Chains A and B, each alone.
Chain A
């Protein structure tokens, strides 16, 4: 019984390790590309110019922020979300997951949703019939209802944020005002794109380096951190299970002695 539990935990641990090593490879590839592009930008730059710390903005503000969520977990958990793996494992404790979000993109996205719903109010049966008669059926139901219908596969929290980030243009960061004060404040939106530190016309390799950096920060690093936390939790479970097994073995070996 205990051995099966330990085997299940170790199996899960090995799947996590596999994910960790493949993410490591992905991160290495992204960083290699990033370094190459920065080197190309430096090579092509004017004499004496180097895209580095001399140009950093001393008042920079992060436009990609971390979002950490902890959920207590006492129920049976399937070994992986993405793949079909057998022998679900019971884990106790807390699951920590990390995500990097771009608040500006999230606000823009929600604004776009609001504007879309304002432009196309939710169709009642009457308006639907009217619209069909006018010939506007092509822009109606699916476009409007899509944002409001919860997608069971994507979840509501971090996954949804990731999807929004994936839809946002690379590197675009604005110091956006809160969603309430949006009208008439377009002029007050201060561009906060780090590329601007290096001038208005940043070279193409630097833009590519930025795109690779964004992918690393949004898609790889938070997943690595989450996997790290999950692996640590499984390690603790394995050690506990091994201790329980050792105690049970010690108890079983003592029993015959008492009988004699």
Chain B
């Protein structure tokens, strides 16, 4: 219990993986953080047409596994689709993954991992 408490107490940042407008809007709200040098790790990744899936996966891995200061990972739903296998097999309590809509891809409840869990619970 003590270990898990220490685990969540340090998680004070919200990370974002998304398109430029999503990231800009959320950074305007004041959640952006760059750690002190020499690491200078950002807690966001701007994804555009040229971003490789491996880069998205690496950022997801970094935010969820390597970094211990992130409590929520926000990810655009269309970006999450690219690494769906990673999202669906992610079961840790912290950080929490939340899929958010983007400018060009509206929120689709069919793909939402929480609503898929609901369907599983009710046996569909």
Q: What does the 1/0 interface line of B8-48 toward A look like (CB < 8 Å)?
A: 11011110000011111111111111100000100100100
Interface size on B, residues (CB 8 A): 44
Inter-chain CA distance A21–B118, complex, in Å, is: 12
B65 at the interface (CB under 8 A from A): no
Q: B103 contacts the other chain (Cβ, under 8 Å)? A: yes
Please give the distance in Å from B22's CB to the nearest CB on chain A: 7
Is A167 interfacial (CB 8 A cutoff)? no
| Chain B residue contacts of A45, Cβ below 8 A | none
A34 and B46 form a contact (CB under 8 A): no
Q: Which residue of B lies closest to A59 (CB)?
A: B34
Q: Which chain B residues numbered 95 to 117 have a C-beta less than 8 Å away from chain A?
A: 96, 98, 100-101, 103, 106-107, 109, 112, 114, 117
- Per the bound structure, the CA–CA distance linking A246 and B43 in Å amounts to 46
Give Cα A52–Cα B18 distance, bound, in whole angstroms.
12
Distance to closest chain A CB from B88 (angstroms): 14
B3 within 8 A of A: no
For residue A205, give the distance in angstroms from its CB to the closest CB of chain B: 11
Contact status of A58 and B34, CB under 8 A, knowing A53-B23, A221-B98, A225-B96? yes
Residue contact A60 to B27, C-beta cutoff 8 Å: yes
Q: Which residues of B contact A214 (CB under 8 A)?
A: 28-30
B89 within 8 A of A: no
Q: Are A61 and B21 in contact (CB under 8 A)?
A: no
Which of B25, B94, B98, B101 has most chain A Cβ within 10 Å?
A: B25
Residue B87 is within 8 A (CB to CB) of chain A in the complex: no
Question: Which residue, B9, B24, B100, B107, has most C-beta atoms of chain A within 10 A?
Answer: B24
Task: Using A68-B11, A100-B14, A228-B114 as known contacts, say yes or no to A209 and B25 having CB atoms under 8 A apart.
Answer: yes
* In contact, B21 and A64 (Cβ under 8 angstroms): no
Within 8 A of B (CB), among A15-55: 17, 20-21, 24, 27-28, 31, 34-35, 38-39, 51-53
Question: Does residue A79 face the partner (Cβ distance < 8 Å to B)?
Answer: no
Q: Which of B28, B34, B40 contacts A210 (CB 8 A)?
A: B28
Using known A-B contacts A53-B46, A96-B93, A229-B96, determine if residue A61 contacts B34 with beta carbons closer than 8 Å.
yes
Distance in angstroms between the alpha carbons of A213 and B32 in the assembled complex: 12
CB of B119 to closest CB in A, whole Å: 11
Chain A hits for B27, CB < 8 A: 56, 60, 194
Which residues of chain A come closer than 8 Å to B5, judged between CB atoms?
Answer: 70
Output the least CB separation between A12 and chain B (Å). Answer: 12
Q: Are B71 and A66 in contact (CB under 8 A)?
A: yes
Which among B9, B27, B30, B100 has the highest number of chain A CB atoms within 10 Å? B30
The docked-state distance in angstroms from the alpha carbon of A22 to that of B5 is 30
Say how far A104's CB is from chain B's closest CB, in angstroms. 9
Chain B residues in 8 Å Cβ range of A27: 100-101
Expressed in whole angstroms, the Cα–Cα distance for A214 and B98 within the complex equals 17
* Contact B29–A213 (Cβ < 8 Å): yes
Is the beta-carbon distance between A35 and B103 smaller than 8 angstroms? yes
Would you mind naming 30 contact pairs between A and B with Cβ atoms under 8 Å apart?
A: A20-B114, A21-B109, A24-B112, A35-B103, A38-B21, A39-B21, A51-B24, A52-B24, A53-B23, A59-B34, A62-B33, A64-B29, A65-B13, A66-B11, A66-B13, A67-B12, A68-B94, A98-B72, A98-B96, A171-B28, A173-B30, A194-B32, A213-B28, A217-B14, A217-B29, A221-B14, A221-B74, A224-B98, A229-B93, A232-B117
User: Which 9 A-B residue pairings sit nearest by Cβ, starting from the closest?
Assistant: A213-B29, A62-B33, A63-B30, A210-B28, A34-B25, A217-B29, A66-B71, A64-B30, A65-B12
